[in-house]
Structure 1
Amino acid sequence: MLAALLFRQVVREGTLTVVDAAGKSETFGRGEPRVTVRLHDRATEYKLLTNPKLHLGEAYMDGRLTVEDGSLYDFLELAGRNVVNVEQHPLWGMFDRVGRALRPIQTFNPVSRARRNVAHHYDLSGELYDLFLDSDRQYSCAYFTHPDNTLEQAQHDKKRHIAAKLRLDRPGLSVLDIGSGWGGLGLYLANTADAQVTGLTLSDEQIKLSRERARKAGLDGRVDFKLEDYRNLSGRFDRIVSVGMFEHVGTAHYPEFFRTVRDRLADDGVALLHSIGRMDPPGGTNPWLRKYIFPGGYTPALSEVLAVVERTGLWVTDIEILRLHYAETLRAWRERFMANRDRVKDLYDERFCRMWEFYLAGCEVSFRHMGQMVFQMQLARRQDAVPLTRDYITDWERAQAAPQEAVAAE
């Protein structure tokens, strides 16, 4: 069994049984969880040995690897728990080094390429996203103030938490939302804080729905959604926010991104960047994820982000690390996706379903066991742009939550 050369060195925690194309089985590791997978051809065994980070997902998508005991999530969690052993394997280490070396090319995202990359993922059927996201279509890490909160509540609390950090202390503030998605955050800021919001997206599907939502809410006079790259915008804004977009910028464009934030931000303005990151040093993007889900994407280490911010002349006035919040978000998305799997299959096909199962389960595991996290970085041009303590954040959130809690109690 060719695959045994990999799994024998990697699996230490949990029990993995692998059945090869000839029907021969071999078991690796010990303890829970216990998972059995079947490899349906010898070519798959060879591919897993030579480039497992790419070919594991491809094999599952194509039905050449199936899980016979346990679930796909169980299998990927077992792999995630053993990720340290995986990274010590010489072949995996070689691919990691190659990935880091090629990262500037892989994440080179000029305006034209950035638009193609966005279309690859965000211009899929709107019905697909309705089947697993919350009703506001928040497609980023939720904020769980209590572990029992619903996804809808946690996404609402995320918007409130971000708004509090923007210090929306007076009506009529101009807000730039870079990567506005389907418009939920922009509409929230306009409705809750009476802000004048400009939202930017590169997705045709997102811009259509965002504008329709603004019109139906009677907020189209206060929210202007544009199909535009942030690099092409002019003017100054009192507040700038970017949620779940920085992962698509590309390391070569970090200086350009933060210069744009600096140049578009008012002298006494506040900006808030919400992005996936990693707790370990700079690395590369998983090749399967880059090929099939997020072309041009990369989750940065704080060290490489802060180094650019320092050279830009912006103040970092606050940083918060959200650790397991995204794992819980992805768990909710995965459960909703699986509950609606047949409807997704009607939209696309079985291979697409298996691809998205792998994506959602793999990303959840990466936030539980593989060092992925979310950071919220508050930025300003002046050091006195925000109060001396963080009390204003909590005070604003509590003030906004009070009416909602009063209604719930009635």
Structure 2
Amino acid sequence: ENTIVQSLRVVFREPVTIILYFSVLFFMSPRLTIFTILIIPITGAIIGGITRRLKKKAVQSQESLGRIVNILDETLGGMRVIKAFNAERFMRGKFDQETDYYAGVNVNMARKNELASPISQFLGVFVVAGILVYGGGLVLSGTSDLGASDFITYIIIFTQVLNPAKEISRAVSSIQRGIASAERIFTVVDTPPKISSPASPSPLRSFEKSVEFKNVSFAYQEATVLKNINFTLSRGKTIALVGPSGGGKSTLADLLPRFYDPNEGEILLDGQNIKDFDLSELRSLMGIVTQESILFNDSVFNNIAFGIEGATESQVQEAAKIANAHEFITTLEEGYHTSIGERGSKLSGGQRQRLSIARAVLKNPPILILDEATSALDSESELLVQEALTKLMSNRTTLVIAHRLSTIQHADEILVIEQGEVVQRGTHAELNQIEGLYQKLSTIQSV
């Protein structure tokens, strides 16, 4: 913004002024003007060298500022951990080190920026001196096409070129800093999304039959997470994913709303690849409750009604009742219109999770994805929410990720995932009769 405001006028006005002055000078003495034009590139190269270094320092400054903001964000967000581990001195030292570097770069950049103007003045005087020596010699020898008085006029007009030249020099310095800032911004802004809707998406009005994972494999860069996954999730059924942490359960659930695309295989919705559908239409069929409660610095009402236009008070309250959240909401200072703070900081972990569940309930989607939806609840709340979710899931297609096997005993099918592969599958009763990972997990949790 500063680059545009400060430099736009200079960039458009001053070059025109210089061209007009040089037109007059060329008309007065072509020979002397050609000599002048030959000297000017030398001065331009010197100033150009300074501005190139200025851009390099500006890039370093912007990168350092980004690191400072990151340190501040981490420090404020992790305040409890920092205090608990007595790491205040370490974080302060980290911050001081980065700000010292940032200050040094900016001082260096300011010096170079301030050098541009005096150097351009010095070089301007140097050029004038050159013209005086060369032009004066021509006048004294009688070989110049200018008389003594005209030569003085020529010098006076040429000195008027110096001011616009200095303005251009300053503008170029400012532009170099602006370019460095713009490059940092547009590197992020212009990054194309890896997941996008097709140019001509197939219409998607509803979900009728099933979701099928067909030979699906996925890897983060070179780390393979899922290997040849096959299963069918029929309409109205519930499939649960269980297994050790890091096995790929959450990644598998993320593939359905296309947060990622599989490296191999395909995911079919009613027999058609989900890549053929518009992203917003595909995701409108799904309600997602993540393991981490994602809430916003807004009221309880707006967090539950997030993304749903025209939601009424009664609808929001009904969703909260199903998620076992209505009771604690009514005890808040302003009820449903109470601000919950940044990331829901005014609420407990269980309360935040219940709001996330209420948000999914209000959306009333045909497909539910529950990623450890009850993980942050106490035993009493978990039981009540689980009963509500069981009623909610009875008419919906549900993909559940759970570590607590007690919450998925009534699933139509349970997939046991270990190291990215389905190692067992069946109902709770069937898997408990087979010696394997599920029986081991069930035994551990029943102790």
Q: For the superposition of Structure 1 and Structure 2, which TM-score range results when normalised by the shorter chain? A: under 0.3
TM-score computed with the length of structure 2 as normaliser:
0.22
**Greater fraction of residues in helix:** 2
**Greater fraction of residues in strand:** 1
Larger Rg: 2
